[in-house]
Chains A and B, each alone.
Chain A
Amino acid sequence: MDSLHLHFDIDGSDFTSAGEAASELKRVLRQLGFPPEIIRRCAISMYEGEINMVIHANGGTVDVYIDSDEIIFELIDSGPGIADVELAMQEGYSTASQEVRDLGFGAGMGLPNMKRYTDQIIVDSIVGVGTAVFMSIKLE
């Protein structure tokens, strides 16, 4: 099977549209007949990535490649970068503003959830340049 490619531009300007890319991905995966648990893992990982881009990076892009044996996500932004990736991967660590926390985000669970729900995650970040996150969810 050829890989199916989906591209999403994430609007970094407001929180109301956050989740639209994840919802669209969910709809596509449903149409393709993937099991609910795989869809849920993809949707949550994607949403966390989207939210991170909105909170920290003023948006970015997500490319999803659906292969026969895995689903691959490439999330790229030109935000401020992550100074200490290891720290950012720890549950509860967050640099989000109070305004963002009042909306219910900033629990420090974004990257940890992305790690939890994917089979592989690589975070590549350069301070002042941006962040690239690669995730893979294996299909049995």
Chain B
Amino acid sequence: MTVRMLAEKLDLECISNGDGNREVTGCYVGDLLSRVMGSAKEGNVWITIMSNVNVAAVASLADVSCIILAEGVKPDADLEAKLEIVDAALYTTPMASYEIAWKIHELIGV
């Protein structure tokens, strides 16, 4: 399933489009940035409540397919500006991390 299709099914609010055609390979939930870089796999959806500018660098370097900010978190202005140069799309949703991850599992089966 592509990032764009997943976002539509989960009714996510799009902050930055990124490459919506990327294939979603799974999901990683975490807020400690080095943990994310150590454990998130290429193409994963990254669910977090972190919203500072470093999220863009981590998403890019860990090569996740998209970022979902949970619990209604909005990105800092710095983060939004930096996303223009990142492939990963950024979404926000009122849902909590567990609910998002559970729904992603139902949609993609991993």
When the two chains form the complex, which single residue of A48, A105, A109 contacts B54, counting CB atoms closer than 8 Å?
A105
Closest chain A residue, CB of each to CB of B55: A104
When the two chains form the complex, which single residue of A26, A36, A113 contacts B37, counting CB atoms closer than 8 Å?
A113
User: Is the CB–CB distance between B63 and A36 below 8 Å?
Assistant: yes
* A-B residue pair count with CB separations less than 8 angstroms: 71
Closest chain A residue, CB of each to CB of B38: A113
Q: Closest CB-CB distance, B36 to chain A, in whole Å?
A: 8
Closest chain B residue, CB of each to CB of A23: B60
Known: A104-B33, A107-B35. A43 touches B54 (CB 8 A): no
Interface residues of B toward A: which range?
A: 20 to 34
User: Is the CB–CB distance between A40 and B61 below 8 Å?
Assistant: yes
Known pairs A15-B54, A113-B37; list 13 more (Cβ under 8 Å): A19-B56, A19-B58, A23-B85, A26-B60, A36-B42, A36-B63, A40-B62, A44-B38, A44-B61, A47-B37, A104-B32, A104-B54, A105-B32
Q: List 15 A-B contacts (CB under 8 A).
A: A15-B52, A23-B57, A26-B61, A40-B63, A43-B60, A44-B38, A47-B37, A103-B33, A104-B33, A105-B32, A105-B33, A105-B34, A107-B32, A109-B38, A112-B38
Q: When A and B form their complex, which 10 residue pairs have the shortest distance between CB atoms, in order from nearest?
A: A19-B57, A109-B34, A107-B32, A104-B33, A43-B61, A107-B34, A113-B38, A104-B50, A44-B37, A47-B61
